[in-house]
Amino acid sequence: MAAVILTVTNNSGGGQPVSMANARAVAGICKQHHILFVLDCCRIAENAYFVRHNEPECAHLSYREIAQEMFSLADAAVMSIKKDGLVNMGGFLALRDHNLSNACTNLLIITEGFATYGGLSGRDMEAIAVGLEEVFEADYLHYRIRSTAYLGERIRERGIPVIFPIGGHAVYVDAQGLYPHIPPHQFPGQALVCELYQVGGIRSVEVGSVMFGKYDADGGFVPAPQELVRLALPRRVYTQSHLDYVIEVFEEIVRRKADTRGYRIVYEPPFLRHFTAQFAPI
Ligand SMILES: Cc1ncc(COP(=O)(O)O)c(C=O)c1O
């Protein structure tokens, strides 16, 4: 069965929001072609924040009502609850169609076990129920989105190129813009990831040619369209002083940038190499 999955917000595209108009248009195309429309809603509350502040026709709605409106367009939803569920672990698949839901439950029996086996304990499910309520609180969402923007705007002022405007859950640094002297095949994003860890103990992730680069039929290197580094912010963990520390580390990164070198891969698995590849400095 074919399905379209719309991810709100856009994780690999800078954490940018999906507008209500965009979601409606996708739903319309799916309906026209009888294709299941699935919402990856793991950041739907953050998305609702942007929709309310960016789209005048939604300004009178609460964040929760905006999310409900978006859900009303979808046939199904998947959620990694570690994000806008405000809990450590868990996820769900929700389907409107009972036959499909039964088919998924039956498939689950031969893969993971009965739906009632308790992949999630009752305590965790209770925490999820609370998290899904609290995530729509205006104060929480405002603090969350402004914290991410604070980090992004401050490092931008210090000469770090970032995807702008800043997205919801993460700041995305343009590592190629920061290190024009490191060519894509020497992985400027990986160079920044290593710098951040070595200078400040900060963990980030490359979203560039390590993750999306390919080899052509002759083994030639095909770079990714962008060389980004994602600084994702866990929810309800950092205070402003933590982010001020990250900003100070970026000041040092700028001071060292002309001396920063690229990396080469010394080990890579046959697929999904970004999880386990090993590198050496050039
Ligand atoms: C948009 C999106 N969907 C799904 C997932 C997968 O989540 P999980 O690690 O809980 O399987 C992620 C994880 O980062 C994500 O960002």
pLDDT digits (tens, 9 = 90+) for 201-254: 999 999 999 999 999 999 999 999 999 999 999 999 999 999 999 999 999 999
Q: What is the mean pLDDT of residues 39-58?
A: 97
Q: Which of 276, 249, 281 is nearest to 263 (CA)?
A: 281
100: Cβ contacts below 8 Å, ≥ 6 apart: 36, 76
Least Cα distance to 41 among 66, 13, 14 occurs for 66
Is 243 a member of any domain? Answer: yes
177: domain CATH number is 3.90.1150.10
Q: Is the minimum distance from the CB of 120 to ligand 1 under 6 angstroms?
A: no
CA torsion sign for 102, 107, 111, 113 is: positive
Domain membership of residue 117 (yes or no) is: yes
- 86 with 176, same domain: the answer is no
Query: 195 CB under 6 A from ligand 1?
Result: no
Ligand 1 atom nearest 43 alpha carbon: 1
Instruction: List the CATH number of the domain containing 11.
Output: 3.40.640.10
pLDDT at residue 225 in the model: 96
pLDDT-based confidence at residue 115 (cuts at 50, 70, 90): confident
Residue with tokens 């929760």: 64
- Residue 217, domain extent: 162-281
Q: Which two tokens stand for residue 75?
A: 């046939």
Asked if residue 212 is part of any domain, the answer here is yes
Helix, strand, coil in percent for the chain, rounding step 5: 50, 15, 35
Residues 172 and 243 in one domain: yes
Which contiguous run of DSSP H or E holds residue 147? helix 138-157
* DSSP single-letter state for residue 61: S
Cα(40)–Cα(5) distance, integer angstroms: 6
Q: List the one residue out of 104, 116, 52 whose CA is nearest residue 78.
A: 104
Residue 70, classified by CB atoms within 10 Å of its CB into exposed (0-12), middle (13-18) or buried (19+), is buried
130 and 90 in a single domain? The answer is: yes
Q: Check whether residue 124 and residue 15 sit in a common domain.
A: yes
Residues 11 and 115 grouped into a single domain: yes
Q: Is residue 191 part of a domain?
A: yes
| Alpha carbon distance 257, 262 (integer Å) | 11
Q: Tell me if 141 is assigned to some domain.
A: no
Secondary structure of residue 78 in the 3-state scheme: strand
Identify whether 114 is part of a domain: yes
Q: How confident is the model at residue 48 (pLDDT cuts 50, 70, 90)?
A: very high
Same domain, 106 and 215: no
Whether 46 lines ligand 1, by a CB cut-off of 6 Å, is no
pLDDT digits (tens, 9 = 90+) for 167-184: 999 999 999 999 999 999
Residues 107 and 229 in one domain: no
Same-domain check for residues 20 and 70 = yes
Query: Among 134, 152, 170, where does a domain finish?
Result: 134
**Cα(51) to centroid of ligand 1, in Å?**
21
Specify whether 98 is located in the same domain as 168: no
Same domain, 12 and 87: yes
Q: Is the CB of 42 inside a 6 Å radius of any atom of ligand 1?
A: yes
The CA-based angle 65-70-74, given to 5 degrees, is 140
Give the number of domains in the chain: 2
Does the pTM of the predicted model rise above 0.85? yes
- Domain endpoint, select from 85, 116, 134: 134
